[in-house]
Chains A and B, each alone.
Chain A
Amino acid sequence: MKRAFSILLLSLPLAGCQGWQSALDAQGPSAQALAEMFWIFVAVLGIVWVLTMTALLLALRRRRPADADPLSTDPGTERRMTITVSVAVALTLVTVIALTGLSYAAQKVLFSHKDGALTLLVTGQQWWWKITYENEQPNLVFTTANEIHIPVGKPVLIKLESADVIHSFWVPNLTGKMDAIPGRQNQLQIQADRPGIYRAQCAEFCGLQHAHMGMLVVAEPKEDFERWRNHQVSSAIPPNDPERQRGMEVFLSKPCIMCHQVRGTDAGGKVAPDLTHVGSRRYIGAGTLETTRGNIAAWIIDPHGIKPGVNMPTIQLEPDEVQPLASYLEGLK
């Protein structure tokens, strides 16, 4: 038990280095710069801490005779301590100035935006992300939700807005966070150096389901990205098997269409995530459940069991409607 515990403790610092939502597993240039800077700070400040604590422990030795008057001071000791304290303060000042300089340098690099290959408008909503790919060609503009695809090695500009309360956009593997504030627009640049799937999560408390407001950033080679984009722009492909056709009927006859949009059908709601290609996304419920038929069904039957307080209502479905509906949505690749 004890050993298992100490192993766990030892593995702690290492565990932070990996992960799909980790600040120390840097996958982009700015996260890389930040991680390096973080370790420099840790080293410098760690030394400061160790030195101070050593001084403290040494100070705890009894140097004064037991019968000394507490008001008496020895001028020599007093002078030596004054010098030592002054030196320590001076060293602190130097350390602080050095770290401030380091911080400025990193800040300059981080916030100098290069020309983006891509501009995205990300709107935080309670509790999901609406993503609009902007483009000068109107036919390449499209809206999706909770999953961003970016080409590897290209800087991507993210414009951040909010539809209700303050949210914060944070992909730790790629860069630091930036708030989405109602009435304002903030900007942030992300770039991934390696293909991969990185998780983002809302970092500003935004109400009941702040905990389940995730998003994926999928970095992929340019060709894959282009393919993905061209597919996302298109409307949903009508289903051709009877079960999914039945599912589509269910979808269109139920409250779903009041909020959700599936391009190419009558479903034109704009207040909830666009479902045109929901089946191609890896997660549903804003990074809450993996996209499988079973999870989609579970989500539709009882959204509040999974994400209590979400604005998705519980709707009235016959038992034989659930399966086709889930199949239909899962098939919206």
Chain B
Amino acid sequence: MTKASFQPQDSEELLPHRIVLNVRSMPSYAYGHRSPIWWGTVAFAAAEGMGFAMAIGVYFYLVFINGNWPLSAPPPDLFWPSLFTVVLLVSAWPNARAKRDGEQENLSATRRNLVIMSLAGIVLLVIRIMEFNGLHVRWDQNAYGSAVWLLLGLHTLHLLTDLGDTVVLTVLMFTRHGHGKRFSDVGDNAFYWYFVVASWLPIYLILYWFPRWW
């Protein structure tokens, strides 16, 4: 019952050290899954992906409850969202280059790629505004409208976040901070953009094609 029964180490001091490994020569950063930040980005993408899954779940639950769909509104226009999808898919190419050039620590190419990505984000944002105009339903009209605005709004939020991230990173790359670990950040930003692209594709089908097929 007393401390004695623990075979105490008696000493109030820490164990002495015995060096068995020297990490002096290890690199101070890396790319992809070797870097903690990559795992952080993946985890955030997982949580946000779960958010998307929930929102999509809500949409289909409402379809299931109502039977007829869309509720008292014509299906949304196709032109702008399709344009959006095309631009978004095309943007995957400069994105891939941004990641590659970043890993090769090519500063000028990375700068160019980031500027392109920022512009692409802004163009997409403009198209997105047109997209909202062509929904033919307001969020406060009925549950269908609410679900549509929910999904589109959620994706726009991610678009905005990544655009902000890209712009800040672009600015950084043009300052004296454009070296070393920044290149790793470019890679993570590119990864996040893939998430924005990947999460859009199901939403595009659900919002614009599903009501036509249903």
Contacts and interface: CB of A to CB of B under 8 A. Distances in A.
Interface of A: 66-67
Contacts of B5: 66
A223 B5 CA distance: 80
B7 interface: yes
A66 B7 CA distance: 8
Contacts of A66: 5, 7
Contacts of B7: 66-67
A66 B4 CA distance: 10
A283 to B, nearest CB: 38
3 contacts: A66-B5, A66-B7, A67-B7
Nearest to A69: B7
Contacts of A67: 7
A66 B5 CA distance: 7
Nearest to B5: A66
A122 B7 CA distance: 71
Interface in B1-54: 5, 7
A181 to B, nearest CB: 12
Interface in B64-104: none
A70 to B, nearest CB: 9
Interface residues of B, number: 2
A67 B4 CA distance: 11
Nearest to A62: B5
A67 B6 CA distance: 9
A74 to B, nearest CB: 19
B61 to A, nearest CB: 14
A67 B7 CA distance: 8
A224 B151 CA distance: 59
A175 to B, nearest CB: 28
A67 B5 CA distance: 9
Shortest Cβ-Cβ A-B pairs, 3 listed: A66-B5, A67-B7, A66-B7
B6 to A, nearest CB: 10
A69 to B, nearest CB: 10
B77 to A, nearest CB: 31
Nearest to B4: A66
A62 to B, nearest CB: 10
A265 to B, nearest CB: 42
B21 to A, nearest CB: 23
Interface string B147-173: 000000000000000000000000000
Nearest to B65: A183
Interface string B94-121: 0000000000000000000000000000
A295 B5 CA distance: 71
B98 to A, nearest CB: 50
Nearest to A183: B65
B146 to A, nearest CB: 15
B103 to A, nearest CB: 44
Nearest to B7: A67
A183 to B, nearest CB: 9
A128 to B, nearest CB: 29
A9 to B, nearest CB: 32
A145 to B, nearest CB: 31
A2 B5 CA distance: 39
A249 B7 CA distance: 92
Nearest to A70: B7
A64 to B, nearest CB: 11
Nearest to A68: B7
B7 to A, nearest CB: 7
Nearest to A66: B5
A249 to B, nearest CB: 48
A43 B73 CA distance: 58
A61 to B, nearest CB: 15
A260 B4 CA distance: 79
Nearest to A184: B65
A1 B5 CA distance: 42
A288 B7 CA distance: 66
A66 B1 CA distance: 12
